[in-house]
Chains A and B, each alone.
Chain A
Amino acid sequence: MKVLAIDTSTMMATCAVLDEERLLGEFSLNQDMSHSENLIPMVKEIMDNLKLEISDIDLFAASIGPGSFTGLRIGIATVKSLAHVLDKPVVGISTLEGLAFNIVHSGIIVPMIDARRNRVYTAIYKKDGQRLKSLLDPTTMDMDELLELLDKEHTNIVVNGNGASLYRDKIKDKLKDRVEFAPISLNSPRAASIAELALIKKDEIEHNYYNLVPIYLKESQAQQDIRKREG
């Protein structure tokens, strides 16, 4: 079974083709604001090099957030419509779970994606066989609050994601030698991880090309304003 996976939730646009146990190809580009331009050409580049047709793909997977709202919609619209036009199944995978899945570590894995204003999208995972067990489900959290929580409850921590890079000093100051930072190659979303998770979870997730939507973990500003006004 061949899986094509896409993650455009951060500045990194990444796509990969996996054939069961084998990574056939992965293509990642870290370029600001060019996902819309690059994504389909990247997919085509991989497929052409592998001498595969897009119709050879059996399962499509997308990273569904949290992350950049616009980035997520580019990736999800692309994956949904590829699955739709070829009438193939589709699976959505949490961006944070995808990030955590990059890491092989016996302790605690904490992916962080910048959510602006000292906040991160984050979750807390622990490896459980081939899978990840969630100790804290994906949420938006103030950085200081997250560090407080980690400081109190956890040791032997690995962090990754653009949030971990952004707040590196702060994290180091608070958690000292109880924290490790992921190497560069495992710090950003990898479509290969999304693809592998999709294979593991395909039978338990009920997504189709109609109902696959981003997980924002944040209301739109206008919606927040209305809520405030109405009390």
Chain B
Amino acid sequence: MNEDIITLAIETSCDETSCAVLRNGREVLSNIISSQIEIHKKFGGVVPEVASRKHIENINIIIQQALDEAGVSFKDVDLVGVTQGPGLVGALLVGISSAKAIAYGLNKPLIGVNHIEGHVCANYIEFKDLQPPFTCLIVSGGHTYLVQVEGYTKYEMVGRTRDDAAGEAFDKVARALGLSYPGGPIIDKLSKKGDAAAVDFPRVFLEADSYDFSFSGLKTAVLNYLNSAKQKGEDIVVEDVAASFQQAVIEVLVEKSIRLAKERKSDKIVMAGGVAANEGLRDLMEKRGREEGIRVYYPSRILCTDNAAMIGSAAYFNYIAGNISDLSLNVEPNLELK
């Protein structure tokens, strides 16, 4: 069986309507992403009902664009992949309803995909030779996970955030600094001009053996620092606060990733998710990786954000593993990675 397998994939877990076409799970023929970020900016964050309304308006337009750009038609599609969760339930429902109709209409297999697994698989697209096992840090506005990837569809969830996701902490601190949404890219940019040692914010490592994360204390520390500076009438150097905050986040992310990789004798650390586009995080992870003899991978910026190509890659590997969903597949807003 040497024939190419064409995957059509749909991702609508949050505020991006995305559809992609892949050949054999690693080659992206198209990856259309319609971002709603400008719409949600005025609300200061993603509003679920608004996101769902945009998804239903856009979904078939995006699907057709993905087919056109890939130069294929529905009849070339061998399987349909779709994000099953985690995510916003109303948003997920648009994608899953659409994907089920397409799979049924084509009489082709349907694969429900875990969004977090999709983020991991973005790296298989970026690095054609990358193979499990490896240690993986998944960080975004919605997720913070440390995972030991044992096979293409086999994961061990080792650590997670106990409160805010890393990207969420960036958003909240950005808001406190009077910066716009989303906060991550702006703080990353300002950090380059600031002194990361200017303010000594706490590094929250939790229990000595824990791989979990906590960012809400750090966020509170930043808010307290800003309040007390205001009360004392001191000027705040936004760049310094941004750089010091970012340093406190990424040191914890990097050190826990390195510790897990060493414990599991992994020679690869793979990063995924929106915050994996943070240059401060990339630089520090690479530096520490070099010191420890661990190779560090992260996907290009576009594959870090929520996109359907990564869902298509995960769908392909699940298809190969025989994990096919039936037509009663439902969304799971709190789906866990197993």
Contact = CB atoms under 8 A, between A and B. Distances in A.
Asked if chains A and B come from one complex, the reply is yes
Interface string A65-79: 000011001111111
Interface of A: 34, 36-41, 43-44, 54-55, 69-70, 73-82, 84-86, 209-210, 213-214, 216, 220-223, 226
Nearest to A55: B105
B224 to A, nearest CB: 28
Contacts, number: 104
A85 B105 contact: yes
Interface in B39-70: 42-43, 47, 49-50, 52-53, 55-57, 59-61, 63-64
A222 B47 contact: yes
B110 to A, nearest CB: 9
A-B pairs, 8 with minimum CB distance = A85-B105, A81-B101, A77-B97, A220-B49, A222-B47, A81-B98, A37-B330, A40-B327
Given A210-B61, A213-B57, A226-B42, A85 B90 contact: no
A79 to B, nearest CB: 8
Given A80-B60, A220-B47, A36 B331 contact: yes
B79 interface: no
Contacts of B100: 39-40, 78
Interface of B: 42-43, 47, 49-50, 52-53, 55-57, 59-61, 63-64, 74, 89-90, 93-102, 104-106, 327-331
B50 A223 contact: yes
A93 B64 CA distance: 24
Task: Give the residue among B43, B56, B94 with the most A Cβ atoms within 10 A.
Answer: B56
A77 B56 contact: yes
Given A36-B330, A84-B64, A74 B49 contact: no
A70 B56 CA distance: 11
Given A38-B328, A43-B104, A81-B97, A76 B56 contact: yes
Label chain A's interface by main secondary structure: helix
14 contacts: A36-B330, A38-B328, A55-B105, A70-B52, A73-B97, A77-B93, A80-B101, A81-B59, A81-B97, A82-B105, A85-B74, A213-B53, A220-B47, A220-B53
B47 A78 contact: no
A81 B62 CA distance: 12
Contact of B50 (A44, A74, A222): A222
A59 to B, nearest CB: 15
A78 B49 contact: no
A81 B95 CA distance: 10
A214 B104 contact: no
A220 B50 CA distance: 7
B81 to A, nearest CB: 14
Contacts of A77: 56, 59, 93-95, 97-98, 101
B52 A73 contact: yes
B327 A73 contact: no
A34 B329 CA distance: 11
Contact of B327 (A41, A82, A84, A86): A41
A140 to B, nearest CB: 16
Nearest to A218: B49
Contacts of B330: 34, 36-37
Nearest to B331: A36
B327 A54 contact: no
Most A CB within 10 A of own CB, among B94, B97, B327: B97
Given A54-B105, A74-B93, A209-B60, A69 B49 contact: yes
A85 B101 contact: yes
A222 B46 CA distance: 10
Contact of B43 (A34, A74, A222): A222
A39 B329 CA distance: 10
A37 B64 CA distance: 25
Contacts of A39: 97, 100
A216 to B, nearest CB: 8
A209 B64 CA distance: 11
